[in-house]
Chain A
């Protein structure tokens, strides 16, 4: 479209003004966002260099917190959540392909609706049932499991859209060759839509990484042992919430760790997004399908 837009006719004053306004919007949005993110990264790197160690440990309240334990908890809880959410989301999406159009419409609509609901509404019953009623101490298993169920809806919704995007002829021809609906789904649709399925899983991982308040409620705080699922733990996303940076001294060690956590979390999400983009691009290549 951009080629078509570059008209050879001389630009009028209104068009020039329009270009300037759009350019100013781009500068404000991208420049403002870049400044915000760079500032947080700068604070994180500055503090890490000033503290003189890669994995500093600080006393936060009664707990001792280190960046390595926070990073390992984040990875383990994310993997647990994805191990639950990815199969559940893919199974839900494949079932949508096999059910009647009216049921498909209802279920897909419901998935899209619940995917945008606030995560706190999901965290509250888990907190009440697991911790208050059953007396289970906060731990990584509960947090990872709940997070997995939370992100299964967006994964299922995006997966279902990816399966719907597969050309109709492909499934019609497979059915004409005598394949059963289940075989069509698993042997034709999913391999054809694997780029979209990979993108859905990455989207779920990104959502899992960003749910700070949800995790802060469920993890219990303070990463202690080497195995983060067994007892109360903390993640890169939940620690900044629990540390309450607005009430900390701006140059203190806890304030620095909050920014270091945020910086690492940002790099983690960018790594995930980059991997997802690369995977979908590779899987969408004509020779790969």
Chain B
């Protein structure tokens, strides 16, 4: 009985354990004997072919640009679908079907669409702006879906009570219902952003550079990103590729963890739960 329980416990922890083992291997490749020997600064900043800090800055700029544009649009669209269209009506059902289709589309599709957009505009698609466009296309349906689900799970009594007290429908939605569901939306969007910035797929099809040496000044800067750096370092068999790839992945993992912590903190913040 004890053995069966132990086995069940081991199986339950396996999905997490394999990830912990993977992260441990990556850390070992970063700091272990085959890793860089010239001090902590070189581990983070100056790799043989470029600067990891510049790649991290490019990732952050791209993520921020996508977040700032796609999330308000996605939340607005979600509010429109959930509150302005008749439940069960043909228009709402059709738009929800489209929204579901956009949310389940693989990131590769949005990368290729951004590549085609660059071809149409007769410009080089290997720019941060096109990466941000692809990331925005991924994030906006995600924000829309999160808003829609959060509003449909919200307690309808609160909204009805607000209307009964004479508050206008717009004010009830914006100042009462939306703050109530905001933590759920924020959490879903931040976790989605963490996954989007860690996905190399749309950026690889856009022709992102493996390495960059200069931090981006605007969205016209060459497209570079931590996952792309890690991908190219993994496919490169030159000396030191283990540690270069590991350094990029450690930085990427750090960014994802910061976003997840932020999502967790937002969901737990007292002003939301009051």
**A positions within 8 Å CB-CB of B:** 1-7, 9, 12, 14-15, 18-19, 21-26, 28-30, 32-34, 36-37, 39-40, 43, 88-89, 91-92, 95-96, 98-99, 107, 110-111, 113-114, 116-129, 149, 152-153, 156, 206, 209-210, 212-213, 216-217, 237, 240-241, 244-247, 250, 258-259, 262, 265-266, 269-270, 272-273, 277
CA distance A206 to B231 in the complex (A): 22
Q: Report yes or no: A37 in contact with B101, Cβ–Cβ below 8 A.
A: yes
User: Is B12 touching A91 in the complex (CB atoms < 8 A)?
Assistant: yes
Complex Cα distance A118/B109, Å? 19
Question: Are B84 and A23 touching (Cβ within 8 A)?
Answer: yes
Interface residues of B in 59-91 (CB under 8 A from A): 70, 72-77, 79-87
Specify which chain A residues have a CB less than 8 angstroms from the CB of B249 in the assembled complex. Answer: 118, 120-121, 124
Instruction: Chain B residues near A124: list those with CB within 8 A.
Output: 22, 25-26, 29, 230, 234, 245-246, 249
Distance in Å: Cβ of B164 to nearest Cβ of chain A: 10
Query: Would you call B106 and A265 a contact (CB within 8 A)?
Result: yes
| Chain B nearest Cβ from A134, distance in angstroms | 13
Residue of B nearest to A38 (CB): B113
Contacts from B to A (Cβ < 8 Å): 8-9, 11-16, 18-19, 21-23, 25-26, 29, 70, 72-77, 79-87, 95, 98-102, 104-110, 112-116, 119, 125-126, 137, 140-141, 144, 151-152, 154, 156, 159-160, 163, 168-170, 172-174, 177, 191, 194-195, 198-201, 204-207, 227, 230-231, 234-235, 242, 245-246, 249, 252-253, 256-257, 260
Q: A88-B11, A128-B29 are in contact. Are A30 and B102 (CB under 8 A)?
A: yes
Q: Which residue of A lies closest to B101 (CB)?
A: A270
Q: Are B19 and A241 in contact (CB under 8 A)?
A: no
26 A-B pairs (CB sep. < 8 Å): A1-B177, A3-B86, A5-B84, A18-B170, A22-B80, A23-B80, A25-B76, A29-B102, A36-B109, A95-B12, A111-B16, A117-B256, A118-B249, A120-B230, A121-B253, A122-B18, A123-B234, A126-B22, A128-B29, A216-B204, A217-B234, A237-B106, A241-B205, A244-B204, A266-B106, A277-B100
